[in-house]
Amino acid sequence: MARKKVLVTGGAGFIGGNFVQYMVNKYPDYDIYNLDLLTYAGDLTKHKEIEKKDNYHFVKADIADRDAITALFEKEQFDYVTHFAAESHVDRSITDPEIFVVTNVLGTQVLLDASKAIGVTKFVHVSTDEVYGELDFDPTTFFTEDTPLQPNSPYSASKASSDMLVRAYHETFGLPINITRCSNNYGPYHFPEKLIPLTISRVLNDQKIPVYGDGKNIRDWLHVLDHCAAIDLVLHEGANGEVYNVGGHNERTNLEVVKTIISTLGKSEELIEFVTDRLGHDKRYAIDPTKLEALGWKPTYTFESGIAQTIQWYLDNKEWWEQIISGEYQNYFEKQYTL
Ligand code: NAD
Ligand code: DAU
């Protein structure tokens, strides 16, 4: 039987990078193609181990470059597409929204056209709970797959737009698709502009931690490897055309998250600095994962075991994040924060 070809877009980033490693190791009889533009958020140093393997391949390309993407799909005839590539940071979408539309909306449409042209077996679109907007603080309310889309940030609006295009290509052209909507991820190789790795790296350097507003906003945290297992399951078992929410019931306020990291590292809460709130800051996200659980998925990490593993990973892999925060990241940080 011919080897399956799996395209992973955004495989040099945080979640796509973890997914590429997971797939290369789990499926030696699949060829895994990592397609990435290597923006500020992408780096290949994380793939030193798998680069030696015959079933790993890298292609540098922009998903919004129609000619390059069309030619690549014609040449490789992928069986599966798992689409992670995106501009992913909400704060950057507030200061510079345009690239979010180009990459997240146009880029997705280019991939859909190329997938339709060669007739892929499955296109999995990796989306986010942020497309549903926000919940209030009533702990009995959750996002389900039927919750209406009400995105509040330019980032989530661009992701919701791409979700709608994916749905439309299924309804209009019969493209076999799934859409996954996951809650906040954390774990190894998380780019240190995001709350958890930003806090870990700054606490380790005895620097102030910027907490937006009163720190009471709630996010629902999932370890990245549990997300990878969910995508693998949906890719192989997801019912054609369906949406699956992904989350592990790990709601925490931002202040609880920051305090957990500070106490695990034995530092003082005086490092916390409350700063001006994010514009349009969503109050609370919380996922109902019942539909995915019915396919057989359940998370392996609790928040406590996952955050301990993640903190240890950042302690063991300083080289990786130090190289990131010493570069262009400094300019970003100085524009974003006055601490
Ligand atoms: P990330 O920012 O860490 O990585 C994005 C990757 O996409 C980078 O490697 C970047 O180089 C690449 N990329 C950006 N523009 C590109 C382009 N035009 N062409 C090709 N590659 C390009 O993002 P992440 O946190 O790993 O998120 C991955 C996906 O998962 C995104 O679609 C995001 O919306 C979704 N998601 C993220 C989370 C989360 O908590 N981080 C939760 C749910 C869903
Ligand atoms: O819910 C899924 C989403 O999670 C993904 O779709 C996004 O790609 C991903 O970036 C993430 O979005 P958030 O905005 O929730 O993540 P972030 O780490 O930026 O912020 C988490 C919370 O922490 C949020 O309430 C804002 C707050 N925050 C964030 C930063 C960077 C702070 O208080 N201070 C900070 O410096």
Q: Is 129 a catalytic residue?
A: yes
The pLDDT score that the predictor gives to residue 153 is 98
Residue 54 backbone phi and psi in degrees, to 5? -70, -25
Q: Position of tokens 């510079």? A: 96
Sorted by sequence, the CB contacts under 8 Å of residue 35 that are 6+ apart come out as: 7, 8, 9, 10, 11, 58, 59, 60, 61, 63, 72, 85
- The domain limits of the chain are 4-186+223-246
What b-and-e string marks burial along 203-230, b requiring 16 or more CB atoms within 10 Å of the CB?
Answer: bbeeeebbbbeebebbbbbbbbbbbbbb
Q: Where are the alpha helices (DSSP H) in 49-119?
A: 66-76, 90-95, 98-100, 107-118
- Computed over every residue of the chain, the mean pLDDT equals 97
Q: Is 332 a catalytic residue?
A: no
What is the rounded distance in angstroms from the CA atom of residue 39 to the CA atom of residue 49? 21
Quote the pLDDT of residue 130: 98
* Atom 1 in ligand 1: residue holding the nearest Cα: 13
CATH class of 4-186+223-246: alpha beta
pLDDT of residue 339: 83
pLDDT tens digits, residue range 242-280?
999 999 999 999 999 999 999 999 999 999 999 999 999
10 lines ligand 1 (CB under 6 A): yes
Instruction: Identify the pLDDT of residue 143.
Output: 98
Q: Has residue 237 got a pLDDT over 80?
A: yes
- The verdict on the CB of residue 306 being under 6 Å from ligand 1 is no
Q: Binning pLDDT at 50, 70 and 90, where does residue 94 land? A: very high
Which atom of ligand 2 sits closest to the CA of residue 199? Answer: 36
pLDDT at residue 108 is higher than 80: yes
Report the nearest atom of ligand 2 relative to the CA of 258. 33
Collapse the DSSP code of 147 into the 3-class scheme (helix H, G, I; strand E, B; otherwise coil) and give the result.
coil
Nearest one of 14, 73, 75 to 198, comparing CA atoms = 14
Q: How many CB atoms lie within 10 A of CB 265?
A: 15
pLDDT tens, residue by residue, 293-330: 999 999 999 999 999 999 999 999 999 999 999 888 99
* Contacts of 99 by beta carbon, 8 Å cutoff, 6+ apart: 87
Atom of ligand 1 nearest to the CA of 180: 44
* pLDDT tens digits, 172-211: 999 999 999 999 999 999 999 999 999 999 999 999 999 9
Q: Mean per-residue pLDDT for 131-158?
A: 98
What was the pLDDT predicted at 137?
97
Is the pLDDT reported for residue 1 higher than 80? no
Give the pLDDT score at 328. 87
Q: Is the CB of 230 under 6 A from ligand 1?
A: no
